[in-house]
Chain A
Amino acid sequence: MTNLLRYRDDEAHEEPAVTLDSFLGQSNATAVRIESGEDARVLLPYLDRIALVEVSFPKFRDGRGYSTGRILREAGYTGELRAQGDVLVDQIPLMRRCGFDSFAPEAPVDEAVLAASLARYEFHYQAAADPAAPVWKRRHG
């Protein structure tokens, strides 16, 4: 795959992601693709055997995938979580906070802009699916 940005130490998963329906119908798939609007919670019983979840962002304005990411991470998913589709450079920091650790944007992103964006905010007000301590925790320990 071209233009894949990864924030993980392991090797990129090679097996192509199957649709949610085919994943649920076959016992050995380890990579699954969730379309916008599909319910990520049906994957929860299988999280320990999934290595890659690819979440589709058909349009950058479609924000359902942000919830999908958090739901999977909050349920304990530790495999690769990839945002694929109309993923824009200014959205990647938010997606990182929702637990995404790999990105397959349709259009190439400027890596210098991305690096600056990811480094820009030192603090975050609210807790999310990343390790950042919310500001209230920093204030009160």
Chain B
Amino acid sequence: MYKYDEYDHSIVAARVEEFRDQVNRRLAGQITEDQFKPLRLMNGLYLQLHAYMLRVAVPYGTLDSRQMHMLAHIARKYDRGYGHFTTRQNLQYNWIKLEDAPDILAELATVEMHAIQTSGNCIRNISSDQFAGAAADELTDPRPWAELLRQWSTFHPEFSYLPRKFKIAVIAAEEDRAAMRLHDIGLQIVERDGKLGVAVYVGGGMGRTPMIAPLIKDYVPFEDFVSYLEACLRVYNRYGRRDNIYKARIKILIHELGAEKYAAEVEEEFKAVKALGIDPPRAEFDRIAAYFAPPAYDAEAPDALDRSDPDFAVWLDQNVSAHKQPGYAVVTISLKPIGGIPGDASADQIDLMADLAKTYSFDELRVTHAQNIVLPHVRKADLYGLWQQLRDAGLAEANLDLISDIIACPGLDYCSLANARSIPLAQKIATRFSDIGRQRELGELKLKISGCINACGHHHAGHIGILGVDRKGVENYQLLLGGSGAEDVSLGTITGPGFSEDGIVDAIEKATDVYLRERDKGERFLDTYRRLGMAPFKEAIYG
């Protein structure tokens, strides 16, 4: 994985001192909260319900055991012994003191980590496929492209006060594991005439006005990659709406202009920008890519697996994915124990996952947008030993992509924007469907919960989505069906009137009963819904 050189170190160190200075000026009363807020947000520091919250960047979700141990250390020393992995592959601490934040950043910097641009109206942490570099179905490793973008976007002087936040995802496989088209810019690496470039999708997003990003350009060669994105951002910075925060995302600009007109504006701007010589040379790409070279695999690693332990066999089928290297597999550690808090991990669990990565996965871990952790390169022969250690630590829930593998935002238990709690609902649903046989019978079923319209829990993209609302001071939940964040991307549709907390668990059970009754062979819940439409589900839920 990427390692800092003197320049990276210098920039991150300067950032720590800059933020220390900004915090000191705030505490001394030299700047107001109104002025400080965008500065702290650009460093991932929010004021939430109970305390400050610090969001630490995990660039494209990749980290090593040293970094993971540091996350555990910070959880113990400055927080309350745990962290929360997020849908943007980052980690959040919920109980941070403003006065400690500069010291935390200084500690993070010692392991090449930071909180730069994890919030604010700027280009956020670049997200990517959690199986990058390991997936059997990828064209190339997307992470060198993502790292190039991380560097380009870090403290970009023109794009630090955009109309609104800006999220970019990069993938390189046909299967979209990163919800690419629900980003402000989604990039898919493609090949043309033997050369790699990117297909550029712009204007996707969730929030109160969910949209799927249209294709703006089908191929931009590497040589023009940064210039083209610079043009995309400049058009947005100049013309994106600033009169209404709810209409300030780039998706609204593209919706109002039309994709063709936006693309034409970008082409015009690109002509001016391309002449500036701002594209890094191929040598820089090669320098970065060398850090992502495949690890030293054992070419003799056997493919055979002993499936005689039935619990292990279930986990194997559910949480282990195909690796491009024979004899290896990709392991997803579920952070969704039945009745637990989706995405939370204790400091001890974080330490354990770090140790396991060091022992079994060439010292590498990934954070997934579904709030789980991946060990990307595990010898198949080691899977059973690994599983036993995970099981003993309560980390072997065999529910990847099943109904209890729920994405949930922190909701009203932690978040100052939320209208309703998300976590207790996730706990109730997982408990109702806790039987693993029943879950596997239901098959792939992505359930996503947001505690408000901002959609941090991706409810629009859930096969089953839930949106928490405030109805006259009482929590109420709307149900959506038919969304997907994958390559078959779609937005969910609201079933009808909302439910109480218990009512919505019943409604979900009724919807899954319709699926079990009506499904054709091989159909997932989503496929049956798409074939039948809303009517039979609505009838079962409200009838």
Are any A and B Cβ atoms less than 8 Å apart in their complex?
yes
Interface residues of A (CB under 8 A from B): 60-64, 66-67, 70-71, 74-75, 88, 90-91, 93-95, 97-98, 110, 113, 116-117, 120-128, 134-136, 138-140
Which residues of B have CB within 8 Å of A91? 161
Number of cross-chain contacts by CB at 8 Å: 108
Whether B154 contacts A140 by the Cβ 8 Å rule is no
Whether A135 contacts B161 by the Cβ 8 Å rule is no
Whether A123 contacts B11 by the Cβ 8 Å rule is yes
> Which of A63, A98, A116 has the largest number of chain B CB atoms within 10 A?
A63
Whether B441 is near chain A, meaning CB under 8 Å from some CB there, is no
Which residues of B have CB within 8 Å of A139? 5, 7, 284, 287
What is the distance, in angstroms, from B248's C-beta to the closest C-beta of chain A?
A: 10
Given contacts A113-B21, A121-B11, contact A61 B38 (CB under 8 A): yes
Which residues of A have CB within 8 Å of B11? 121, 123-125, 135
What is the distance, in angstroms, from A101's C-beta to the closest C-beta of chain B?
A: 14
Whether B25 contacts A98 by the Cβ 8 Å rule is no
CA distance A93 to B156 in the complex (A): 11
**Contact check: which of A64, A74, A117, A140 meets B237 at CB < 8 Å?**
A64
Which residues of A have CB within 8 Å of B5? 139
Whether B156 contacts A127 by the Cβ 8 Å rule is no
Whether B161 contacts A120 by the Cβ 8 Å rule is no
Given contacts A64-B237, A67-B158, A135-B7, contact A125 B152 (CB under 8 A): yes
- Look across to chain A and name the residue whose beta carbon is closest to the beta carbon of B236: A67
- Look across to chain A and name the residue whose beta carbon is closest to the beta carbon of B34: A60
CA distance A120 to B5 in the complex (A): 18
CA distance A81 to B159 in the complex (A): 19
What is the distance, in angstroms, from B295's C-beta to the closest C-beta of chain A?
A: 24
- Look across to chain B and name the residue whose beta carbon is closest to the beta carbon of A117: B18
Interface residues of B (CB under 8 A from A): 5, 7-8, 10-11, 14, 17-18, 21-22, 25, 30-31, 35, 38-39, 121, 151-152, 154-163, 226, 234, 237-238, 242, 272-273, 276-278, 280-281, 283-284, 287
**Contact check: which of B7, B18, B156 meets A138 at CB < 8 Å?**
B7
Which residues of B have CB within 8 Å of A75? 272
Which residues of B have CB within 8 Å of A66? 157-161, 237
Query: 6 tightest A-B contacts by CB?
Result: A63-B161, A97-B157, A136-B280, A127-B278, A94-B157, A136-B284
What is the distance, in angstroms, from A8's C-beta to the closest C-beta of chain B?
A: 19
Whether B157 contacts A128 by the Cβ 8 Å rule is yes
Given contacts A94-B157, A125-B152, A139-B287, contact A63 B7 (CB under 8 A): no
Whether A61 contacts B156 by the Cβ 8 Å rule is no
Whether B151 contacts A126 by the Cβ 8 Å rule is yes
**Contact check: which of A67, A123, A125 meets B238 at CB < 8 Å?**
A67
Whether B151 contacts A64 by the Cβ 8 Å rule is no
Which residues of A have CB within 8 Å of B35? 60, 88
CA distance A70 to B287 in the complex (A): 29
What is the distance, in angstroms, from B380's C-beta to the closest C-beta of chain A?
A: 39
Whether B157 contacts A98 by the Cβ 8 Å rule is yes
What is the distance, in angstroms, from B2's C-beta to the closest C-beta of chain A?
A: 13
What is the distance, in angstroms, from B303's C-beta to the closest C-beta of chain A?
A: 41
Whether B161 contacts A61 by the Cβ 8 Å rule is yes
Whether B7 contacts A123 by the Cβ 8 Å rule is yes
Which residues of B have CB within 8 Å of A122? 10, 14
What is the distance, in angstroms, from A114's C-beta to the closest C-beta of chain B?
A: 11
CA distance A88 to B163 in the complex (A): 18
Which residues of B have CB within 8 Å of A70? 158
**Contact check: which of A123, A125, A140 meets B283 at CB < 8 Å?**
A140
CA distance A106 to B256 in the complex (A): 34
* A-B contacts, 18 listed (Cβ < 8 Å): A60-B35, A60-B38, A61-B121, A63-B161, A63-B237, A67-B234, A67-B238, A74-B272, A120-B14, A124-B155, A125-B11, A126-B152, A126-B154, A126-B157, A128-B157, A135-B8, A139-B7, A139-B287
What is the distance, in angstroms, from B147's C-beta to the closest C-beta of chain A?
A: 11
Not counting A117-B18, A124-B11, a sample of 10 additional A-B residue pairs whose C-beta atoms are within 8 angstroms of each other reads A63-B159, A71-B272, A75-B272, A88-B35, A98-B157, A113-B25, A126-B152, A127-B278, A128-B158, A139-B287
Which residues of A have CB within 8 Å of B161? 60-63, 66, 91
What is the distance, in angstroms, from B375's C-beta to the closest C-beta of chain A?
A: 31
Which residues of A have CB within 8 Å of B272? 71, 74-75
- Look across to chain B and name the residue whose beta carbon is closest to the beta carbon of A124: B155
Whether B157 contacts A63 by the Cβ 8 Å rule is no
- Look across to chain A and name the residue whose beta carbon is closest to the beta carbon of B158: A66
**Contact check: which of B17, B152, B163 meets A120 at CB < 8 Å?**
B17
CA distance A139 to B284 in the complex (A): 8
Whether B10 contacts A90 by the Cβ 8 Å rule is no
**Contact check: which of A63, A64, A88, A136 meets B281 at CB < 8 Å?**
A136
**Contact check: which of A116, A121, A127 meets B155 at CB < 8 Å?**
A121
CA distance A123 to B8 in the complex (A): 9
